[in-house]
Each structure stands twice: as C-alpha cells, then as structure tokens.
Structure 1
Amino acid sequence: MNPTTGTTGRHHLPAGTAANGAYTVDITPATARWGHAALRVLRLPPGGTHTYDTGDSEWIVLPLAGGCTVTADGRTFPLTGRPDVFSAVTDFAYVPRDTRVTVTSPGGGRFALAGARCERRLPARYGPAPAVPVELRGTGTCSRQVNNFAAADTYHCDRLIAVEVLTPGGNWSSYPPHKHDEHHPGEESRLEEIYYFEIAPHDGTPGLGYHRVSPSGRGGNTDLLAEVRDGDTVLVPDGWHGPSIAAPGHDMYYLNVMAGPGDERAWLIRDHPDHAWVRSTWPARPADPRLPLYTAPTQ
C-alpha cells in the first residue's frame, strides 16, 4: 500500500507503476508533463544487454547494484559499480545526445539512467568513484550524506544536475523545505526534480519513508504527502519540497535528477520562510555519528 494525500497524486509513482519493458522506472519529459528532466531505471539479468538512443538528451549511466560496460560514441567504459546504494560510491559514465548507447552486465544489476534535454553535445566520458565529492549536510536529526557525482559545481554537463542523498533511519532530509521553481539570477534556479527512492530493509522487513511537497503559488501548486517505499518515484515540477523522512531502523536513499530551462546550470534554492531558521541551529550541533555511511574510495 502506498498512501498519497493531496491534489496531485500523479506526482507519486509507486514502484512498478512507471515501468516499461526493461525499465522498472521510465520517466520522460512527455510522461512527466514537463520539459526537461528524465529518469530510467534499467534492470538487466546476468549477461543482459540493452541498447537505447539518447535522442535530444544527455545521460549519466549510474550503477545502483552491480557493474556493467557502457559503449557510446565509439568509446567503451567498464563500470565497477557497487553491491547496492547503501554500501559504496560508484563510478559512472556520461553519454551525449544524438548517439546510441549499449549497456551490458555480465553479472546483472540495476542501473539508473539520469537524463536531461540539452543543446550542446559534450564528449562521452568516464566518472571515477574516487573523484565523487561526499558531503555531510545538516546536523543532529537533519544529518544526511550527499554524493555529489553530478552536482552543478562538481561535474560538467550541459543541463543535467544529479546527486545521491542517504538519510539514516529516523532522520529528516530535504529540510528545511526549499524550492527552485522561479528564475531569480543569483538567488533561485528554475528546475524540475525527480526523486527516486530506495529504502533499506531491517532484518528482512521492508521499510518506508515520507515525502512532502507543498504549494508555493507557482506552476500547478503541487500539494503532496506520500508514503514512499523501495522503488517509488516522486516528481517535483514546482513547490516547497521536504522533508524526506526516513523511518527509524530504515536508512533512506534517493537519487535526485534535476534540469530546467535556464541558460545557467546552477542549483540555487530558496528556503521556506517558516523553516529557514533551522539552518542556523546546525553549527551548534554535531553531525549524526552514523555518517558517513561510506566515503569515496581512494585513488
């Protein structure tokens, strides 16, 4: 059961409801009813191969579980990958628009394809795990870990912004609530955002979490409170989003994929005025000692 309240239940996609063929999640600008951001989650059996065309979008192939080989634009990138999202930083591959991509996995696995419509055609290239900046954000019960593998200021893309967030059980992340649905140079970016969730089980028992989006007066006034479980996705076209709440005993992972119409590729947010004070309390409190769950490997 995946309860959702609010006026825009279509923005919460429980696991399996956005599946399409080899993709357990297949979100395009057309299906999301917006203009830029995309996400696919590809599941391959041992020895499996999948080929797709990038079209008018740039993509990052990010292993969630398992390793693979990515071939695109005349180049081949072996990706070591990882056992799961809760155990390690992963390497990844960037592939440009207007090319054909083949993903092959000898051992099988799951692979996120994070995409964004773009204009420039950048070269295909490899993203090594040791180069991924791992950030601890917030303190106390707002502590979380951010793997900035394709943040706006850490990895070069044309439009795509993507990061991973890990929240220990019982903590809040995406907090204070914030938004990026208006263009204000130097203050706020206009970005669509996708949240893809994985929830760690406890002694074999599936976990859950909660995610809130509240109206900002912009766009469609998205209003959503969703119980999220492993494999769920939430679309954020507008609005104040956060918190994302991890149930005690169940660590939460989410992949954020963002893109928008602005000429500048930047992640600039505005905190909700009722909750912005929370940030001022962080310097006086220690970070959650459970973090980091892991760090990037050394060279």
Structure 2
Amino acid sequence: MSHLLIKPKAGTGHVTHVTPETAGWGYVGFDLHRLKPGETVSAKTGDREICLVFITGKGRVQAGGQELGLLGERMSPFEGKPWSVYVPQGSDWSVTAETELELAICAAPGLGGGLPVRVIAPDDLGQEVRGKGTNTRYVTNILPEGEPADSLLVVEVITPAGNTSSYPPHKHDRDDLPAESYLEETYYHRLNPPQGFGFQRVYTDDRSLDEAMAIEDGDVVLVPKGYHPCATCHGYDLYYLNVMAGPKRTWKFHNAVEHEWLTKL
C-alpha cells in the first residue's frame, strides 16, 4: 500500500491522525473523530490554528472560553453545506456529540494573528461549479484565502459518479509566487454509497514520485508535492475535504503542460 494512503481505524473514536511529523512535512495536520451521542473530544490548539468541520451530525461546541451552542445539521456529507468553527492558536476547545458525529480537525501553524473564535455557518459559505461534462464538480469554500486565518485553507468538493476531479492535473509545490505557491494538502474521501471506490494519482513531472491509489470510504491521501487528480467510478459519488497550508496563504497552481489543452474545452 502506498505511504501516501492513510486508512481509518475501524469503529468509533479517533480514527485518523495525520501530523507534520507522521506525514514528513511542515504544515498540515488532519484528524477525524467518530463520536457516539454523549461522547466528547477536547484539546488545546497550542501554537496551531484549527478548523473544526462537522462532516455529519450535531454537537455542542465550546472554544476559547465561549459556549457556541449546538452546531451541525446534515447527516450526510452529500447533503447540504457543513457547519465549521475556526479556533486560533492558544485556545482550548471541546465538542460533545448530540447525535452520531463525524468531526474533522484541520490544523496548520498559527502565526500570532490574534484572530477570534468564529462559527462558520452554512449560509456563510460560497459555492461554485468547476469543470464541464465528465469533469464537473461542486465546490464549497469553507476557509478560502479571502476569509481570515493564519495558514489554513479548507474546501470540500463533491464529484458526481463517473467524473474526474482535481483535473486537469495541477500542482502547487513551488514557492514561486505569483506563478505558483507551495501548499501541502490532504484529501479526506467519502463515497456514496459507501461500498464504492475511486482512484487518485500523485505524481511529479520527473516521476520520482508516482503513486496510483484505489480510494475507499474514509481514506485520506497525502499530497506532499506533484499533481494529484482523482476519479470516481460509475454509480458512486465522491466527496472530499481538502486541507492546505504552506509558507504563504494563497492557492496558485500550475497545470500539467501536456494536459493544458483540456482547459480550452
């Protein structure tokens, strides 16, 4: 199995854990908790900022000494937009599940920005359609670069069955602004129905990195560098949550030259 493919632990609890140390990079962290009603997860952010994303379910949230109330709405990541909470560095937080709850914790370095805790409601989120034909996908911007954060960029995407996504292949692995930014990235994948599968390839121009992976429900793919297109099979819609971070908080990408013609279609 590829070292870029992270399988979740079975059952409930803390099922996925990615840190800069485990990933071998410098910025992005990603954790996933599956909680039963009444269960609580809590932590301190330390020198990192986080974005809590309610993938499914409802929970009561406390962050930075504030009671934020009952958040969450959708019971499937394929139905509607998420509730999220931004929590800056130097804060504590906790979430207690009211229903079965799938909670993502997206993390990156805090830079001392002094930003406040804030709830990001579904009505606050912009959505867009990217691509055409069998390259169509639906994007929800949770924490885009136009909204305040120190390092984090967070977005979720739904790709209809049989379509490609993150395609034409693009990369963002050079700190060479304004042409391209260096951003590490994680993909958290869900399939509908859940027994489905798709594919993701992570590769560089010189093929020093070239990994092709079958992705299943709950998998995380690490993208330390290179191009990273994915595709889902007939009959199975694909959801993914992206977390990106790097030395500068901007998304400037470079398309694979040999596939650039696809952008003209």
1:217 deviates by 4.7
CA distance, structure 2, for counterparts of residue 69 and residue 148 of structure 1: 23
Write the mapping of 1:124-143 to structure 2, written as runs, cut at 5 A: 124-143=117-136
From 234, 238, 245, the counterpart of 2:221: 234
Q: Is contact 2:40-2:94 (8 Å) kept?
A: yes
The residue that corresponds to 1:279 in the other structure is 263
Partner amino acid, structure 1, of 2:261: W
RMSD value, Cα: 1.7
Distance in 2, Cα, partners of 1:179 & 1:93: 28
Tell me the distance in 2 between the aligned counterparts of 1:48 and 1:151: 30
TM score, norm. by length of structure 1: 0.84
Q: Per-residue CA shift, 1:239-264, capped at 9, x if unaligned?
A: 1111x1011000000111000123xx
The question of whether the paired residues in 2 share the 8 Å contact of 1:117 and 1:159 is answered with yes
The 3-state SS of whatever aligns with 2:257 is coil
Asked if the contact 1:93/1:127 (under 8 Å) is kept, the reply is yes
Q: Give the whole-Å Cα distance in 2 for the aligned partners of 1:80 and 1:162.
A: 17
Q: Is the 8 A contact 2:160 2:238 kept in 1?
A: yes
In the TM superposition, what is the alpha-carbon distance from 1:48 to its structure 2 partner? 1.0
Is 1:209 matched up with 2:195? no
* Residue 253 (structure 1) aligns with: 239
Tell me, what secondary structure is at the counterpart of 1:102? strand
Report the AA paired with residue 173 of structure 1: S
Residues 83-94 of structure 1: pairs in structure 2 closer than 5 A: 83-94=75-86
2:176 to 179, 184, 191: 184
Matching of residue 107 in structure 1 with residue 99 in structure 2: yes
Unaligned runs of 5+ in 2: none
Conservation of the 8 A alpha-carbon contact between 2:7 and 2:16: no
Aligned position for 1:290: none
- Contact 1:14-1:228 at 8 Å conserved across structures: no
Kept in 2: contact 1:65–1:81 (CA 8 A): yes
- Deviation at residue 22 of structure 1 after TM alignment: 2.8
Structure-2 separation of matches of 1:113 and 1:158: 16
Moved over 4 A (4+): none
Answer whether contact 1:15 1:230 (CA < 8 A) is retained: no
TM-superposed deviation, 1:91: 1.7
Length-normalised TM-score, structure 2: 0.95
| Local SS of the residue matching 2:134 | helix
In 2: Cα distance, 1:63 partner to 1:84 partner: 10
Deviation, structure 1 residue 167 = 0.3
Tell me, what secondary structure is at the counterpart of 2:21? helix
1:110 Cα deviation after fit:
0.6
What is the aligned counterpart of 2:73 among 74, 78, 81? 81
* Secondary structure of the corresponding residue to residue 136 of structure 1: strand
* Ranges in structure 1 where 5+ consecutive residues have no aligned partner: 282-299
